[in-house]
């Protein structure tokens, strides 16, 4: 059985959510100490600075961030609810380990939630106006990105932002607070967020191929929305999620020689048996 640890998986990941600690400090005026600690710890876990099985001590974290132990304790409780750490009576917290099945199953759930969201939004009329405009903005942005060759860091960054915006538009348009909360929690798992884009980079064309494939599927979803075909849109969204899930499964199942040709990931860097 394959297991994914937060310090391991060799694949290309682009994640627009990661911020440096310096940025967090700049934003400190708008965030509570608890939110700052929770956000930074989440980044450290998903970035591999705190590997799976690592004990996380309140005292050490408090000293690192220069805060009292109270916001650290609350932040760790938030991360436990997200499934990133596990609490143990009288022994503090440890960083959780994710299996490949955990992540692939999360993709299935994410796709189902997005499908439900777009159907609900269409049937209740929430995608009219601004919702349609957001889809059109994302498609126009990706049309522009795909008009040139290569996959530069800037292009990849713009692509991931547009991709995340497209997917979140479906969730937000449904106007269901419970759905929003479940989706947000699910997206905190490694490699599951719509701000994560995966492709091998043995050849530059592979990155473009992944983008073009996703873009075609986004356009098909948008077309169904414009035609008012809610069931068709839901089906296309689920199929789109399945395509991404299968791409990730292929990366997990590839042999060691292939995996060693892939660059380190931002979220999960190596695959172990």
Q: Is the dihedral of CA 201, 203, 207, 209 positive or negative?
A: negative
Domain boundaries, the chain: 15-97, 99-272
What backbone torsions phi and psi does residue 102 show, to the nearest 5 degrees? -60, -45
Whole-model pTM: value is: 0.70
Domain topology for 99-272: 1.20.120
Sheet strands (E) in 45-133: 55-56, 85-88, 92-95, 98-99
> To 10 degrees, what angle do helices 69-82 and 33-46 make?
50
**C-alpha count within 13 angstroms, C-beta hemisphere, residue 132:** 11
Tell me the residue ranges of DSSP E strands in the chain.
Answer: 3-4, 12-15, 55-56, 85-88, 92-95, 98-99, 196-199, 271-272
**CATH number corresponding to 15-97:** 1.10.10.10
**Residue of 48 and 142 predicted with greater confidence:** 142
Lowest mean pLDDT segment, chosen from 181-185, 195-199, 262-266: 262-266
pLDDT at residue 8 tops 50: no
pLDDT at 70 over 50: yes
Q: Is a pLDDT exceeding 60 seen at residue 263?
A: no
pLDDT at 39: 84
How does pLDDT run across 39-55, given as a tens digit for each residue? 888 878 877 788 888 89
Query: Encoding tokens for residue 40?
Result: 């930074």
Report the distance separating Cα 266 and Cα 273, nearest Å: 20
Instruction: Please say whether the beta carbons of 230 and 204 come within 8 A.
Output: no
C-alpha distance from residue 184 to each of 131, 188, 196, 262 (Å):
19, 7, 14, 28
């Amino acid at each position: 059985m394959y297991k994914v640890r937060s310090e391991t998986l060799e694949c290309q990941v682009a994640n627009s959510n990661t911020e440096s600690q310096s940025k967090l400090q700049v934003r400190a005026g708008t965030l509570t100490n608890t939110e700052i600690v929770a956000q930074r710890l989440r980044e450290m876990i998903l970035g591999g600075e705190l590997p799976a099985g690592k004990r996380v001590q309140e005292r050490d974290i408090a000293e690192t961030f220069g805060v009292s132990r109270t916001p650290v304790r609350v932040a760790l409780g938030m991360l436990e609810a997200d499934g990133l750490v596990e609490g143990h009576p009288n022994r503090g917290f440890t960083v959780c380990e994710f299996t490949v099945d955990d992540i692939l199953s999360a993709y299935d759930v994410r796709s189902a939630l997005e499908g439900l969201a777009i159907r609900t939004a269409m049937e209740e009329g929430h995608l009219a106006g601004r919702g349609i405009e957001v889809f059109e903005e994302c498609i126009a942005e990706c049309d522009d990105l795909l008009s040139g060759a290569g996959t530069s860091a800037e292009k990849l960054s713009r692509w991931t932002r547009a991709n995340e915006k497209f997917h979140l538009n479906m969730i937000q348009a449904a106007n269901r607070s419970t759905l929003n909360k479940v989706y947000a929690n699910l997206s905190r798992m490694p490699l599951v967020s719509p701000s994560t884009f995966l492709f091998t980079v043995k050849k530059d064309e592979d990155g473009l191929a992944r983008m073009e494939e996703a873009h075609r599927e986004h356009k098909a979803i948008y077309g169904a929305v414009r035609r008012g075909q809610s069931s068709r849109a839901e089906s296309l969204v689920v199929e789109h999620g399945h395509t991404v899930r299968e791409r990730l499964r292929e990366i997990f199942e590839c042999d060691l020689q292939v995996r060693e040709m892939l660059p380190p990931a931002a979220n999960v860097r190596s695959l172990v048996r």
